[in-house]
């Protein structure tokens, strides 16, 4: 499914998940998805005009799973170029987000820092507006490199439409949405493609399960930490690209 970037005005009056919840809350996926639809960014499911588009994988780490939470890392992937940048949030990560992403906010004197819970090192961070401008610079450079491209399509993999909403809301905060839409023409959810191609083969269409099935990637693979946005952006791109050429259920071109 392709998600457009048309705007409308609809109030947000529902809290999606409690801060103390784990990565997935108890709300059924269908209900949760409908709640995400009630933001001030509408979904345009009309297909893009025929043309040449630049596909880029994208994912984010956040302080929680609500629309009022903040981006902690934004990552994008193409086979030739990768982008990943940590952002210093104003709020702390909730317990579920700390466990999932293995990072936490620490305070040393008057300074707040982001620290990895895996390496115990302080992460190099930027302010949100600086990181978003740098991300837009990176996207525009990728578009210029792909001669003849009609625009960028950002590919993510998620049952809920959380990634595009969070990215768009962050861009709107700094009045960067017009610049973003000049390059990016749509979001595409790889989960929908996996649902169509793999639902008869596996029950759970997570990044980890699909990486094993479609890409034959084992648990010990390099840079294989699913809680990291850089890994998920790469997997979203590679899994979607592979599924676009075949099926999961025993197709020799894939398995």
User: Which whole number is the average pLDDT over 69-92?
Assistant: 96
> What are the domain boundaries of the chain?
53-245
pLDDT tens-digit series, residues 32-49: 333 444 444 555 667 788
pTM, two decimals, is 0.78
pLDDT tens-digit series, residues 215-234: 777 654 555 678 899 999 99
**Is 82 within 8 Å of 76 (Cβ atoms)?**
yes
Give, in words, the CATH class of 53-245: alpha beta
Whether the predicted pLDDT of 23 surpasses 50 = no
**pLDDT of 101:** 93
pLDDT tens-digit series, residues 146-189: 999 999 999 999 988 899 999 999 999 999 999 999 999 999 99
For the ranges 36-50, 83-97, 239-253, the maximum mean pLDDT occurs at 83-97
């Amino acid at each position: 499914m392709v998600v457009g970037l048309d705007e409308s005005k609809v109030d947000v009056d529902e809290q999606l998940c409690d801060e103390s919840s784990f990565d997935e809350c108890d709300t059924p996926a269908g209900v949760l998805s409908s709640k995400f639809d009630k933001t001030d960014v509408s979904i345009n499911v009309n297909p893009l005009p025929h043309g040449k588009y630049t596909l880029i994988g994208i994912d984010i780490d956040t302080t929680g799973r609500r629309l009022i939470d903040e981006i902690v890392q934004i990552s994008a992937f193409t086979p030739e170029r990768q982008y990943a940048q940590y952002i210093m949030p104003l709020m702390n990560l909730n317990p579920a987000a700390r466990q999932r992403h293995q990072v936490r906010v620490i305070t040393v004197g008057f300074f707040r820092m982001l620290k990895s819970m895996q390496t115990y090192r302080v992460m190099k961070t930027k302010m949100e507006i600086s990181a978003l401008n740098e991300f837009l610079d990176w996207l525009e450079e990728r578009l210029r490199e792909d001669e003849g491209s009609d625009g960028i399509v950002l590919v993510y993999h998620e049952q809920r439409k959380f990634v595009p909403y969070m990215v768009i809301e962050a861009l709107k905060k700094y009045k960067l949405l017009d610049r973003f839409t000049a390059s990016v023409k749509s979001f595409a959810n790889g989960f929908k493609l996996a649902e169509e191609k793999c639902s008869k083969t596996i029950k759970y269409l997570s990044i980890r399960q699909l990486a094993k099935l479609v890409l034959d990637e084992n648990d010990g693979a390099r840079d294989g930490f699913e809680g990291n946005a850089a890994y998920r952006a790469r997997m979203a791109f590679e899994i979607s690209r592979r599924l676009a050429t075949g099926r999961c259920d025993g197709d020799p071109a894939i398995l």
